[in-house]
Amino acid sequence: MACKCGGCYYTLNAKVSFDRDSMKNRNFLLRNVSVIRMFTNGFFRSKWRSVAGNRRIISMDAREKSRSTILESSKDKRVPIFVMMPVDAFSFDASGRPRIRKIKALTVSLKALKLAGVHGIGVEVWWGIVERSSPFDYSWSLYEELFKLISDSGLKLHVALSFHSNIHSSNGKGGVSLPLWILEIGDVNKDIYYRDQHGFSNNDYLTLGVDQVPLLSGRTALQCYEDFMVSFVDKFESYIGSVIEEISIGLGPSGELRYPAHPFGDGRWKFPGIGEFQCYDKYMMKDLKMAACRERKPQWGDRGPQNAGCYNSLPSGVPFFEEGQESFLSDYGRFFLEWYSGRLICHADAILAKAAKILNKYQENEQTSVMLVAKIGGIYWWYQTISHPAELTAGYYNTALRDGYDPVVSVFSRHGAALHIPCLDMMDSETPPTYLCSPEGLLKQIQSVSKKRIIKLIGRNTTERHDKSGLRRIHSNCYNRQTEVEVTKTLQILPSSSLNLVSVVL
């Protein structure tokens, strides 16, 4: 149902909702529209999104709202589905201007989707397209055209403001980089990107170390994100609350709140490696040094853990992730992980505070109310170990002895953001037992924290699936009767670049 890469795909579904009480077998095919079978063979990696009100969406990227209750929509037995634009839906012409590819086919497909009962479309709004060439030079023409097409088709929008790149994850199909003027700064100062212990940088997302440092043509990273959000809202104010039902704010690589500890596509990491800590740019190292000095342990600020293995290490034999004197349980280990995860949470807090302030005026009127959404990653491998090493390197200080998702969800809740969660499609029995995976355990933990914090959930599948067992798993996870936690939306995605209608059997 979805794909977990930095790019955006769209699934053209022919059925809009899951009936939670019964699974009814129906085929929805439209005449004169080529049809691809769905739910037949396996899954790809993807993300999920949401829609306002009591609706639900299977999406690729998303976010969350706090003051409404999770059980609010339990009387509503249907789960509206959104589909997403494909990664290669956009291209650049000879003059460098962005354009929509296959616009006639897209128009036909949108109309077919509406007739089939699909609720809306998920669209990634890329920083690297809109503010591509120079600071403050916002070009919204591509999205004006696209949003009008979608609106004229009678479909709604889930918009993901994407401050990351998907070059490495797009397999050469229409990848979008960070803005060119950002890349020019990065050519001179690679420390504006995350760095690993070997000095390799990752230009998919700016390091949170520059959130407050005015290196980007006189602006900080936070100011760049804020200015982009303000420009978007000013341009599309007439759509907000009517056509645009949800706005997801990118918080990191692939739009997820995490560090790029498991870089996909550049050859450094492969599943099920534990990943590496990403704190070696000079700005984060300066912050680490200051934090260590405050603890009166200046030696702790010289570098990150030196006994934590490398990208493709397994936990066994890696001292930092075992239970020795120099492990994650040591005084130094606790200090470092609290700092590392804490900086990530502060990053989310700062961006969501700005987003909530910008969108606040629309929440006063029910007719223009729009849902704010934020997305986390699904790091489920090595979940059944004591240390949860893959989660630790990604920035989630979650172990068998500590709940690392509660502080994350608390921040989302404080800003009224919905939580976009992973793994709705996955079962422990489908994962290699050697790697001690537990997508079910991860999902259950996040659901429990969300119930405690009373925030809305938006679900996504972690892999692309074409099988009935995956569909049934998603269906059952949309409303967990044991925990009384309900997923309010779902957004479906396929890795296909075609604009064809997909037949869905529900």
Query: In this model, does residue 23 exceed pLDDT 90?
Result: no
Mean pLDDT confidence for 432-437? 97
330 within a domain of the structure (yes/no):
no
Q: Could you say which DSSP state residue 133 is in?
A: S
Distant-in-sequence, close-in-space partners of 95: CB < 8 Å, separation ≥ 6: none
Looking at the domain assignment, is residue 334 inside a domain?
no
Q: What is the pLDDT of residue 311?
A: 98
Categorize the per-residue pLDDT at 24 as very low, low, confident or very high, splitting at 50, 70 and 90: very low
Q: Is 345 helix (H, G, I), strand (E, B) or coil?
A: helix
Judge whether 22 lies within some domain.
Answer: no
Judged against a pLDDT cut of 90, whether residue 505 lies above it is answered with no
What is d(CA 435, CA 486) in angstroms, rounded to the nearest whole number? 29
The residue-averaged pLDDT of 317-342 equals 96
Q: Based on the structure, what is the number of domains in the chain?
A: 1
Q: Is the pLDDT of residue 167 over 90?
A: no
Which residue did the predictor score with more confidence, 232 or 7? 232
Among 85, 30, 183, 32, smallest CA distance to 492 is for 85
pLDDT confidence bin for 26, thresholds 50/70/90? very low
Has residue 40 been placed in a domain? yes
- Distance between CA 339 and CA 329 in Å, rounded? 14
**Percent of the chain clearing pLDDT 70 (strictly above):** 78
Residue 303 falls inside a structural domain:
no
* Span 453-486, pLDDT tens digits: 999 988 877 777 778 888 888 888 876 655 555 5
Question: The domain spanning residue 233 has which CATH number?
Answer: 3.20.20.80
Q: What is the pLDDT of residue 91?
A: 82
Report the pLDDT averaged over residues 345-355: 98
3-state per-residue secondary structure call for 246-293: EEEECCCHHHEECCCCCCCCCCCCCCCCCCCCCCCCHHHHHHHHHHHH
> What is the predicted pLDDT for the residue at 95?
80
pTM score: 0.83
Question: What's the pLDDT score for residue 46?
Answer: 33
**Domain span holding position 397:** 35-180+208-260+344-381+391-503
What average pLDDT does the structure give for the chain? 81
Residue type, 41: N
CA 13 – CA 15 distance, rounded (Å):
6
> In the structure encoding, which two tokens stand for residue 6, read together?
């930095």
Single-letter amino acid, residue 132: R
Report which secondary-structure segment, H or E, holds 348: helix 331-363
- Please give the Cα distance from 94 to 287 (Å, whole number): 43
Q: How confident is the model at residue 32 (pLDDT cuts 50, 70, 90)?
A: very low
> In this structure, is residue 131 part of a structural domain?
yes
In this prediction, residue 170 has a pLDDT band, given cuts at 50, 70 and 90, of: low
Q: Is the pLDDT of residue 128 over 70?
A: yes
Strand partners, 83: 121, 492
Instruction: Answer whether residue 45 shows pLDDT above 70.
Output: no
Mean pLDDT for 10-28 is 34
Residue among 384, 212, 233, 333 at smallest CA distance from 284: 212
Gap between the Cα atoms of 205 and 189, Å rounded:
14
Q: Does 276 fall in a domain? A: no
Query: In the structure encoding, which two tokens stand for residue 132, read together?
Result: 């591509």
What is the model's pLDDT at position 475?
81
Query: Does 77 fall in a domain?
Result: yes
Residue with tokens 């979650």: 398
Return the percent helix, strand and coil in the chain, to nearest 5.
Answer: 35, 15, 50
Structure confidence at residue 301 (pLDDT): 97
